[in-house]
Structure 1
Amino acid sequence: MTPPRAERGAALLTVLMLVSVIGVIAAASLESLKLQTHLSGNMAAIDQARQYALAGEAIARTRISDVSSTDRTTTLAGDWLDRPNAFPIDNGTATAKLSDAGNCFNLNSLVSQSDEGERVVRPMAVRQFEALMTLIGVQPRIAGEIAQSAADWIDSDTIPQPGGAEDETYARAPTPYRAANALMADVSELKAVAGMDSAIYERVKPWVCALPAPELSPININTLRRDQAPLVVMLLPDKLSLAFAQRMIDERPATGYSAVENFWSKPALRGISPPVEVMAQTKIKTRWFALEMQIETGGAELTELALIDGGVNPAKIVRRSWGDGA
């Protein structure tokens, strides 16, 4: 039996609608499949990049262990400092760069720590941090506030120093928070310290580090660059000028200093007697190394930043992060 003409038209319209819906579903499914395939490919490439980065770590640790166990000093010999070394990998490239991770102000040096874990403010480090910030252009009043507040952020007690800040200060923030009262795990914690703002943080960030020990900044006079002269001045801010510190670095022997005493006994420093603590924090051998790896493979890009402890044998990774850092 032949259906009426009107019903034949409705049936055709229904068929056309079904075809259209099926077409849309098929297109969406294909697009989803394409996206899933693309994401799977990216994940595989990133995973491969991480494996290359871990291999780079192993090579760096082996090299640092070899050098640290045989050399009494760490110098610029071999042109290794801050030098990007590129090497080919399957379907991409990798670049590794080592730097002296101790040539910075160690934020955790703002406290000293007892065997029981009690952390108390270390005035010498507070003065050094304040002097460093002033040298790089931070106003003295603000530099003092940040230095005192950063020490309060780390120490064990909840009593603010003169000019410092503890919980009651941070409780008044638009979004209240509390002081950490613990060693800093990353320099980005400095953003939360009273007196700090984004402009000052960007100025200070290249000069500071958060080593995993509350020790005075271990400045290696054999690996300092000329532009890092403020790190020398901060050791004796009332006795050394920036120009003088730059000249001291310029006049460093090509093979480096064989003893810390050789640096402080230079004729130009006659009459300047550094405290025992400053002598002790001046180094000729590097313990902490920073490794930066840049991996490009299969269309994926990956950056790894790692802190390596060369003071133990074999050298070990203390921490690592993936990405561009804080």
Structure 2
Amino acid sequence: MMRRPPGERGAALLTVLLLVAVMAVIAATALDRLTLATRIAGSAATVDQGRAYSFAAEQIALRRVADLVGRDPAKLTLAGDWLGRDFVLPLPGGEGRAKLADANNCFNLNSLVAETAPGRFSQRAGSMRQFGELMTLLGIDPGQAQAIAGAAADWIDSDSNEGPLGAEDNAYRAMPGAYLPANRKMADVSELRAVRGVTPKIYAQLKRWICVLPATEPVRLNVNTLAPEQAPLIAMLVPGEITLGDARAALAARPAGGYGSSVRFWEAAPFEGFDPPTDVAEQAGVTSRWLSLTTNVTMGDGFLTAVSLIDANGGAPSAGLAPPTIVRRDWGEAD
């Protein structure tokens, strides 16, 4: 029997221990990856289930909107306590909440242009003045406001010619991290942050007052769903001629059944003696084509938010001719 030198005693044991350690590390890594894969699969299943519940909430909302429109296609009011109200949707293993809002009551950035031909956009001077006035009413410097309105219109219009206060290719090429204007309709309000002159502070001031709708028609508000604190949206319609106080008073004095027409609205006591131009007067309407649905679904530790834009007209020229449809859907919370 061979005797091992004293220096080699325990070598076999060390080899075995080393193999055990390596196998333990491999097993721990494999278990960790298996756990991660299981969690990812579970999260994916939760997201898929959450989206299915969101789609179901959309269908419920579409039926609700159809009912609201069907009551009186010529007028949409607060009757039925639908605006901004949380509707709870009990779900297996979770909960859903859905809320409808009037997406007409904001300044549509795409209204800064008019679609003169399919895919061709030219600036709309009246909307630019209204956007500048809205910013001024919100406390933004008038000079900055007009420059931002001009730059935003240049961002969307189809040509490369700078307006009097606008900004086109050359202005953006000179910026750090040079880029070019889109020259098309905006797809999301966050695009405004890329427009020259829009600082984070200005964007924060504007965010709750602006929106992006698929249409480029002039802003058309619904005075039957506007809250008195949204008076700047009325005051912007005729720059310098309507005070915030008068606009707020007219909205606060709204009849219980709402105003029957834009004519009735402009005849309210706070506007006595004021006669706005016909095209501007019609911007204070009594119906809403666009509504937004915010759905929040909670399942266990999972949470999903969806914001859906509803066309109450269903693509038809006026309400009541076609069923409401979903035209856009955004997943996740807004920026």
Question: Normalised by the size of structure 2, how large is the TM-score?
Answer: 0.94
* CA deviation after TM superposition for structure 1 residue 134, in Å: 0.5
* CA deviation after TM superposition for structure 1 residue 283, in Å: 1.3
* CA deviation after TM superposition for structure 1 residue 3, in Å: 6.0
Q: Aligned to 2:54, what secondary structure does the other structure show?
A: helix
* CA deviation after TM superposition for structure 1 residue 252, in Å: 0.3
Q: How does 1:206-285 map to 2 (within 5 A)?
A: 206-285=208-287
Question: Normalised by the size of structure 1, how large is the TM-score?
Answer: 0.96
- What residue identity is the alignment partner of 1:231? L
- What residue identity is the alignment partner of 2:262? V
* CA deviation after TM superposition for structure 1 residue 278, in Å: 1.1
Match of 1:307 among 298, 306, 309: 309
Q: Which residue of 1 aligns with 2:13?
A: 12
Moved more, 7-16 or 73-82: 7-16
Moved more, 283-292 or 263-272: 263-272
Q: Which residue of 2 aligns with 1:37?
A: 38
Q: Which has the higher contact order (CA 8 A, sep 6+)?
A: 1
| Matches of 1:296 and 1:30, distance apart in 2 | 29
- What residue identity is the alignment partner of 2:24? G
Deviations 1:212-254 (A, max 9, x none): 0111111000000111000000011222100111110110001
* CA deviation after TM superposition for structure 1 residue 109, in Å: 0.7
| Matches of 1:32 and 1:89, distance apart in 2 | 31
Are residues 1:25 and 2:34 paired?
A: no
* CA deviation after TM superposition for structure 1 residue 50, in Å: 0.9
* CA deviation after TM superposition for structure 1 residue 91, in Å: 0.8
Q: Which residue of 1 aligns with 2:331?
A: 322
Deviations 1:129-156 (A, max 9, x none): 0000011111111001000110111111
CA contact (8 A) 2:293 2:309 kept: yes
Deviations 1:241-272 (A, max 9, x none): 00111110110001101111111122432321
| Matches of 1:318 and 1:3, distance apart in 2 | 86
- What residue identity is the alignment partner of 1:317? I
- What residue identity is the alignment partner of 1:198? P
| Matches of 1:259 and 1:287, distance apart in 2 | 15
CA contact (8 A) 2:113 2:121 kept: yes
CA contact (8 A) 1:226 1:249 kept: yes
Q: Aligned to 1:162, what secondary structure does the other structure show?
A: coil
Q: Which residue of 2 aligns with 1:168?
A: 170
Q: Aligned to 1:295, what secondary structure does the other structure show?
A: strand
* CA deviation after TM superposition for structure 1 residue 73, in Å: 1.1
Count of residues paired in the alignment: 326
CA contact (8 A) 1:45 1:299 kept: no
- What residue identity is the alignment partner of 1:53? S
Q: Aligned to 1:318, what secondary structure does the other structure show?
A: strand
CA contact (8 A) 1:232 1:245 kept: yes
Are residues 1:179 and 2:181 paired?
A: yes
Deviations 1:160-214 (A, max 9, x none): 1111111110010111111111111111110011111111001101100111011
CA contact (8 A) 2:234 2:284 kept: no
- What residue identity is the alignment partner of 1:307? L
Q: Aligned to 1:114, what secondary structure does the other structure show?
A: strand
Q: How does 1:92-171 map to 2 (within 5 A)?
A: 92-171=94-173
| Matches of 2:14 and 2:115, distance apart in 1 | 82
| Matches of 1:87 and 1:250, distance apart in 2 | 32
Moved more, 312-321 or 143-152: 312-321
| Matches of 1:172 and 1:310, distance apart in 2 | 43
Q: Aligned to 1:229, what secondary structure does the other structure show?
A: helix
Q: Which residue of 1 aligns with 2:319?
A: none
Identity of aligned residues (%): 46
Match of 1:195 among 176, 194, 197: 197
Q: Which residue of 1 aligns with 2:51?
A: 50
| Matches of 1:280 and 1:250, distance apart in 2 | 20
Q: Aligned to 2:281, what secondary structure does the other structure show?
A: helix
CA contact (8 A) 1:42 1:299 kept: no
- What residue identity is the alignment partner of 1:148? G
Which runs of at least 4 in structure 1 moved beyond 4 Å after TM superposition? 5-8
Q: Which residue of 1 aligns with 2:317?
A: none
* CA deviation after TM superposition for structure 1 residue 2, in Å: 5.7
Q: 1:292/1:9 Cα in 2 relative to 1: closer, same or farther (>3 Å)?
A: same
Q: Aligned to 2:10, what secondary structure does the other structure show?
A: helix
| Matches of 2:173 and 2:86, distance apart in 1 | 45
Q: Which residue of 2 aligns with 1:66?
A: 67
Are residues 1:296 and 2:298 paired?
A: yes
| Matches of 1:116 and 1:302, distance apart in 2 | 36
Structure 1, gaps ≥5 residues long: none
CA contact (8 A) 1:288 1:308 kept: yes
